[in-house]
Amino acid sequence: MSDNKLIDGKAIAAKVLDRTRDKVKQINDATGAAPCLATVLVGDDPASATYVKMKGKRCEAVGMKSLRIEMKVETTTEELLDQMKQLADDKNVHGILLQHPVPPQVDERAAFEAIPPVKDVDGVTATGLGYMWLGLPGYGSCTPAGIMTLLHEYNVPLKGMEAVVIGRSPILGKPMAAMLLNEHCTVTICHSRTRDLPDVVRRADLVVAAVGRPCFVEGDWIAEGAVVIDAGYNPGNVGDVDFDAALPRARLITPVPGGVGPMTIATLIDQTADAAAKQLGVSLEG
């Protein structure tokens, strides 16, 4: 296997977190306070519980605080909104993450919108998404923002590239397309009604798969020399791209695990440090 084709998300995430540790120290030196990320988990989905625990651990590893709120599976929208309001008003909380998905009786959009934009470190509010499309400063959705960091770290020349994003969810496909467009890619967004998907993907210099179906993207859909980003994470540690079949054609490719996944949490933690600096009036150096 050609190791020099692999995008090492673990190594880049570690680099991001080193920078975050330094930001946390600067904030602490200036104010005596530590940035704090509040995570809200509704229900008992084991995968979501694991993600939330990982986020708390990573916060602590860089000297940040984490506040974990766990709510029962029968939680109503009103109860969740009350909780979100408390966190919105809490001056010691600088970032809020509502773990997706919430149980079906809860209005997830209303709960997201209860996060004030200054604390929207996962870029989930309509305001955050709007800022992203307009290319204004804000906090990008963490998975696509982490992917952008990978592309920059590997010096992928985005300007003018033909980028195909498969998936249009509000947390992944749509913000991904916005970020690539803001960096001058020519972007095509595909979804379940796209006609001739393999042919559309074959046009791409850069493919981002965000579908949620194991090995969905086949090797012969990948143009010779394309950059392949697999955001998928399916049971059994399998991505949305048939990795073995895509590898020989790709110029660069993210493995699953160890590609996009580690970047999501690192980006979340880093954006929380930035949000804390802003709320506490600290201008970060370096």
Contacts to ligand NAP by CB under 6 A? 143, 166-169, 171-173, 190-194, 197, 210-212, 231-234, 240, 260-261, 264
Closest CA to 102 of 121, 118, 81: 81
Residue 207: CB minimum distance to ligand NAP, A: 12
**Run of H or E residues at 244:** helix 243-246
Residue 195: CB minimum distance to ligand NAP, A: 10
In one-letter notation, the amino acid at residue 50 is T
Residue number with CB closer to ligand NAP (99 or 279) = 99
Residue number with CB closer to ligand NAP (77 or 169) = 169
Closest CA to 239 of 218, 220, 215: 215
Of the residues 83, 99, 271, 279, only one is catalytic, namely 99
Of the residues 23, 55, 65, 174, only one is catalytic, namely 55
Residue number with CB closer to ligand NAP (39 or 264) = 264
Residue 141: CB minimum distance to ligand NAP, A: 9
Of the residues 8, 122, 270, 274, only one is catalytic, namely 122
Residue 277: CB minimum distance to ligand NAP, A: 24
Whether the Cβ atoms of residue 149 and residue 179 lie closer than 8 Å to each other: no
Whether the Cβ atoms of residue 97 and residue 40 lie closer than 8 Å to each other: yes
How far apart are alpha carbons 61 and 17 in whole angstroms? Answer: 9
How far apart are alpha carbons 97 and 247 in whole angstroms? Answer: 34
Cα 93 to Cα 35, 116, 210, 249, 261, distances in angstroms? 7, 11, 31, 46, 25
Cα 187 to Cα 27, 81, 89, distances in angstroms? 38, 36, 39
Residue 281: CB minimum distance to ligand NAP, A: 31
* Active-site residue flag, 55: yes
Residue number with CB closer to ligand NAP (184 or 191) = 191
CB atoms within 10 A of CB 283: 8
Residue number with CB closer to ligand NAP (241 or 282) = 241
Residue number with CB closer to ligand NAP (116 or 257) = 257
The phi, psi pair for 98, rounded to 5°, reads -95, 115
Whether the Cβ atoms of residue 266 and residue 148 lie closer than 8 Å to each other: no
Residue 209: CB minimum distance to ligand NAP, A: 8
- What does the buried/exposed string (b/e) look like for 173-189 if buried means 16 or more CB atoms within 10 Å of the residue's CB? bbbbbbbbbbbebebbb
* Active-site residue flag, 122: yes
Q: Catalogue the active-site residues.
A: 55, 99, 122
